[in-house]
């Protein structure tokens, strides 16, 4: 893994631990690239809020007016879906894993974001299923915990909305408005946009199966050819291929601990870092006000073991886990990326440890 500690607008410390690739004994460094799963959503939320600052839309605005296809929950066709709902996982869009899992592929996906989303929301299309929607109306403040209200597809919609509003590909918008200004020069959304020779190999144990109907099938699909899974003892670390999927704004960001730390440092710096105003401080105040269905926009609130509240986001995908967090009071931020699976309990414990260390060196 690789971790970093940040202060307002700067990286204070970073270090790699262990191996980025076991077979070739390549060390993990804070500059090693890796996909960071749902941590990507904080970048997507940032892009959305940059356009909000330009008055391109209102948070309570119906997003359908900015899309080339209809976006309505068929169980509640009269209820509009808004930007605020998407940013807080309150849109009632459901992740239907029997549809989503097969879209994971080694390499970049051949199915474009817009093609996938149109097919997911248009009855009779390639990716349509009634199970793509929850049975509660958009804007429900406290939806049922099961099945989870968390919506990966909803953040794909947000990325696609950025494309429509900015009239450029989402990946290009992020490169121009977020990555380049912050000096994240090796960060990208697609494998074709990064130097894969500096990418960590993800590892997953043979005993690990994703909590989804096609978990075992996906495990085999992402295993490089030539590996006989049947002959491996349970618990063996198996390399994953470098994979991607169509709904990429929800979780396929590829970056390093050092470059992701520059992004977090801008948040710790009240929206400013490395000579660039990422977001206005007033925008951050709105995002973290908790007024949006009791949630924050694009980030979660976490209570640490010492009773302090911090803002954070974690990410998990086959063979990787990651998290970022920052304490607005002590103005300390942390980053950690791993090329193996973790539990949420492990992530929260390490978050506490790193934030505590960050406060000591500030």
Say how far apart CA 91 and CA 199 lie, in whole Å.
34
Say how far apart CA 113 and CA 139 lie, in whole Å.
24
Q: What is the pLDDT of residue 150?
A: 97
Residues 141-146: contacts with CB within 8 Å, 24+ apart?
Answer: 141/90, 141/293, 141/294, 142/294, 143/90, 143/92
Nearest CA among 317, 356, 315 for reference residue 336 = 315
Does 235 reside within a domain? no
Could you give the dihedral angle defined by the CA atoms of residues 125, 88, 43 and 107, in that order, rounded to the nearest 10 degrees? -30
Does 177 reside within a domain? yes
Does 330 reside within a domain? yes
Question: Helices in 88-232 by DSSP H: which ranges?
Answer: 97-100, 113-121, 152-166, 170-174, 180-182, 215-221
Q: What mean pLDDT comes out for the span 243-267? A: 98
- pLDDT tier for residue 231 given thresholds of 50, 70 and 90: confident
Top-confidence residue, 241 or 209: 241
Q: Would you say the pTM of this structure is higher than 0.75?
A: yes
Say how far apart CA 16 and CA 29 lie, in whole Å.
4
Does 241 reside within a domain? no
- pLDDT tier for residue 213 given thresholds of 50, 70 and 90: low
Count: domains in the chain: 1
pLDDT tens digits for 289-334? 999 999 999 999 999 988 999 999 999 999 999 999 999 999 999 9
Q: What is the pLDDT of residue 212?
A: 53
Cis status of the peptide bond prior to 90, with omega within 30 of 0: no
Does 206 reside within a domain? no
Q: What is the pLDDT of residue 362?
A: 64
Q: Does 336 have pLDDT greater than 60?
A: yes
Inter-CA distances, 298 with 38, 104, 127, 151, 312, Å:
10, 23, 26, 11, 9
Look over the chain and give the mean of its residue pLDDT values, rounded to a whole number. Answer: 95
Does 238 reside within a domain? no
Q: DSSP characters for 301-327?
A: EEE-TTS-EEEEEEEEETTEEEEEEEE
Top-confidence residue, 214 or 273: 273
Q: What is the pLDDT of residue 211?
A: 52
The CATH number of whichever domain residue 52 belongs to comes to 3.40.710.10
Q: What mean pLDDT comes out for the span 224-239? A: 86
Q: What mean pLDDT comes out for the span 136-145? A: 96
Residue 78: burial class (beta carbons within 10 Å; 0-12, 13-18, 19+): exposed
pLDDT tens digits for 114-134? 999 999 999 999 999 999 999
Top-confidence residue, 346 or 53: 53
Number of H helices, E strands in the chain: 11, 16
User: The domain containing residue 47 runs over which residues?
Assistant: 2-195+246-361
Q: Does 214 have pLDDT greater than 70?
A: no
Structure tokens at 185: 């020069």
Structure tokens at 299: 């980030």
């Amino acid at each position: 893994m690789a971790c970093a500690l940040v202060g307002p607008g700067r990286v204070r410390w970073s270090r790699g631990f262990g191996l980025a690739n076991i077979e070739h004994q390549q060390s993990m460094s804070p500059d090693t690239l890796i996909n960071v799963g749902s941590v990507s959503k904080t970048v997507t939320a940032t892009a959305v809020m940059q356009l909000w600052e330009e008055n391109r839309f209102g948070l309570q605005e119906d997003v359908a007016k900015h899309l080339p296809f209809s976006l309505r929950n068929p169980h509640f066709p009269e209820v509009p879906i808004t930007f605020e709902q998407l940013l807080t996982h309150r849109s009632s869009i459901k992740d239907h894993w029997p549809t989503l899992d097969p879209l994971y592929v080694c390499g970049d996906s051949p199915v474009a974001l817009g093609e996938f989303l149109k097919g997911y929301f248009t009855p009779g299309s390639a990716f349509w299923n009634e199970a793509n929607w929850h049975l509660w109306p958009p804007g429900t403040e406290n939806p049922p915990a099961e099945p989870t209200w968390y919506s990966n597809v909803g953040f794909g919609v947000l990325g696609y909305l950025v494309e429509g509003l900015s009239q450029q590909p989402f990946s290009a918008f992020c490169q121009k408005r977020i990555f380049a200004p912050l000096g994240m020069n090796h960060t990208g959304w697609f494998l074709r946009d990064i130097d894969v020779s500096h990418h960590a190999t993800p590892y997953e144990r043979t005993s690990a199966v994703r909590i989804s109907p096609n978990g075992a099938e996906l495990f085999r699909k992402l295993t490089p050819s030539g590996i006989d899974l049947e002959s491996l003892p349970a618990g063996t670390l198996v390399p994953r291929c470098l994979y991607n999927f169509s709904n990429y704004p929800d979780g396929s960001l590829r970056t390093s601990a050092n470059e992701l730390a520059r992004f977090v440092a801008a948040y710790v710096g009240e929206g400013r870092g490395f000579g660039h105003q990422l977001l206005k401080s007033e925008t951050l105040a709105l995002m973290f006000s908790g007024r949006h269905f009791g949630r924050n926009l694009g980030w979660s609130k976490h209570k640490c073991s010492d009773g302090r509240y911090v803002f954070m986001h974690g990410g998990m995908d086959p063979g990787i886990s990651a998290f970022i967090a920052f304490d607005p009071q002590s103005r300390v931020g942390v980053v950690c990326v791993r090329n193996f699976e973790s539990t949420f309990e492990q992530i929260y414990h390490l978050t506490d440890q790193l934030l505590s260390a960050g406060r000591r060196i500030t």
